[in-house]
């Protein structure tokens, strides 16, 4: 009698379905890992079927060897990862179910298992200075610093050969691409906006690698020496022009104030005499060696009135 069994879709689709299931499990683990256990979960029955007959024989011999050499074998079977690390374990070239292990103790089978320790702490690196031709055809040298961390230890090992090196190369090319669309004034003024654009672009590109780009900062923008001199001359000329305008405005305001003061003094002759005495007091306080003979202005007016009558 033939049984009609409904096989799972993974067995029909082969490796492509495994990849889709892998990515779905990665998304679940990224959203639901509360204790930092990153990675994806594989079907245990599927993993065991993939080992094969030779795999079972090797596993049995390995367990037998562990039992014979117990407790010396514990030194080779028990490993420790720190709180900020995760261990991605492969058995006979296949990823173990449960994803990344850690932190703390975990068990491996010698000669069958190999593991890779992944650091989950934030890592920073400097992007080398990039010679960039801006939108307005000005050559500038720009360097930056990038902060990133591993968000999924399993994907960072299985999907990319070297996540750190790949992120560094991608950061350098992204810096050139983003700054190539900006003119020199925008590069000098809008550093925060450029940093946010680079962060979003890098984060989107490195997400399939299990890398989370947390921050990007533009460190320095170096201009050619001739351009620096031209900009300095332009700024100096602009400052001198503003200084002349400010001085002219000050003189205009001062002349208006003097005119108003003269009009007030003309209405009261005694005010002129008081101003005269105040000036004498100021001179005597600052220059004590100066001898001043005060002469009333009314006395001079008498001589001025007699002058025209004598001539007639």
Name which of 42, 46, 35, 30 is nearest 156 in CA terms: 30
Range of the domain at 39: 9-81+97-114
**pLDDT, tens digit (0-9, with 9 covering 90-100), for 52-103:** 788 778 778 878 888 888 878 788 888 888 888 899 988 888 888 888 888 8
**Whole-angstrom distance, CA of residue 50 vs CA of residue 58:** 14
Query: Domain check: are 110 and 174 in the same one?
Result: no
Q: What is the mean pLDDT of residues 282-308?
A: 65
The answer to whether residue 279 sits within a structural domain is yes
Query: Domain check: are 23 and 103 in the same one?
Result: yes
In this predicted structure, which of 11-20, 135-144, 303-312 has the lowest mean pLDDT?
A: 11-20
Give Cα separations from 44 to 49, 92, 159, 234 (angstroms): 9, 15, 21, 72
Per the structure, how many domains does the chain have? 3
Name which of 310, 125, 301, 299 is nearest 219 in CA terms: 125
**pLDDT, tens digit (0-9, with 9 covering 90-100), for 104-127:** 888 888 888 888 889 999 999 998
Query: Domain check: are 263 and 195 in the same one?
Result: no
The answer to whether residue 254 sits within a structural domain is yes
Is residue 182 within 8 A of residue 135, CB to CB? The reply is: yes
In this predicted structure, which of 35-39, 138-142, 206-210, 286-290 has the lowest mean pLDDT?
A: 35-39
**Amino acid 167: pLDDT:** 92
Query: Domain check: are 194 and 232 in the same one?
Result: no
Which of 220, 236, 251 represents a domain boundary (last residue)?
A: 220
Query: Domain check: are 211 and 232 in the same one?
Result: no
Query: Domain check: are 13 and 110 in the same one?
Result: yes
The answer to whether residue 1 sits within a structural domain is no
**Amino acid 45: pLDDT:** 42
Which of 198, 220, 242 represents a domain boundary (last residue)?
A: 220
Domain containing 142 — which CATH number? 3.30.479.30
Q: Is the dihedral of CA 18, 19, 21, 22 positive or negative?
A: positive
The answer to whether residue 201 sits within a structural domain is yes
Query: Domain check: are 206 and 168 in the same one?
Result: yes
Query: Domain check: are 108 and 168 in the same one?
Result: no
In this predicted structure, which of 30-44, 50-64, 256-270 has the lowest mean pLDDT?
A: 30-44
**pLDDT, tens digit (0-9, with 9 covering 90-100), for 150-193:** 999 999 998 988 889 999 999 999 998 888 888 888 888 888 88
The answer to whether residue 139 sits within a structural domain is yes
The answer to whether residue 131 sits within a structural domain is yes
Q: How far is CA 236 from the centre of its chain?
A: 32
Query: Domain check: are 105 and 22 in the same one?
Result: yes
**Whole-angstrom distance, CA of residue 229 vs CA of residue 206:** 41
The β-bridge partners of 119 are: 85
| pTM score, whole prediction | 0.58
């Amino acid at each position: 009698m033939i049984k009609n069994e409904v096989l799972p879709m993974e067995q029909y689709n082969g490796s492509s379905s495994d990849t889709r299931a892998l990515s779905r499990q990665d998304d679940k683990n990224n959203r639901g890992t509360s204790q930092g256990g990153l990675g994806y979960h594989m079907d245990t029955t599927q993993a065991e079927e993939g080992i094969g007959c030779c795999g079972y024989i090797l596993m049995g011999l390995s367990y037998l060897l562990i039992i014979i050499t117990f407790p010396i074998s514990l030194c080779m079977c028990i490993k420790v990862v720190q709180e900020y690390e995760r261990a991605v374990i492969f058995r006979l070239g296949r990823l173990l179910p449960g994803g990344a292990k850690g932190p703390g103790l975990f068990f491996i089978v010698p000669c069958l298992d190999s593991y890779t320790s992944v650091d989950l702490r934030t890592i920073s690196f400097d992007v080398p200075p990039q010679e960039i031709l801006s939108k307005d055809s000005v050559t500038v040298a720009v360097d930056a610093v990038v902060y990133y961390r591993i968000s999924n230890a399993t994907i960072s090992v299985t999907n990319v050969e070297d996540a750190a090196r790949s992120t560094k190369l991608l950061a350098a090319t992204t810096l050139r691409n983003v700054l190539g669309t900006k003119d020199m004034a925008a590069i000098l003024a809008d550093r925060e906006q450029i940093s946010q654009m680079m962060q979003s672009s890098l984060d989107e590109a490195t997400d399939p690698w299990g890398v989370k780009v947390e921050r990007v900062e533009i460190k320095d923008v170096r201009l050619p020496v001739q351009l620096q001199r031209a900009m300095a001359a332009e700024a100096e000329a602009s400052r001198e022009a503003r200084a002349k305008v400010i001085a002219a405005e000050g003189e205009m305001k001062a002349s208006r104030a003097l005119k108003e003061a003269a009009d007030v003094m003309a209405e009261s002759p005694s005010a002129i005499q008081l101003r005269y005495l105040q000036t004498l007091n100021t001179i005597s306080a600052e220059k004590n060696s100066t001898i001043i003979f005060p002469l009333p202005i009314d006395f001079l007016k008498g001589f001025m009135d007699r002058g025209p009558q004598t001539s007639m």
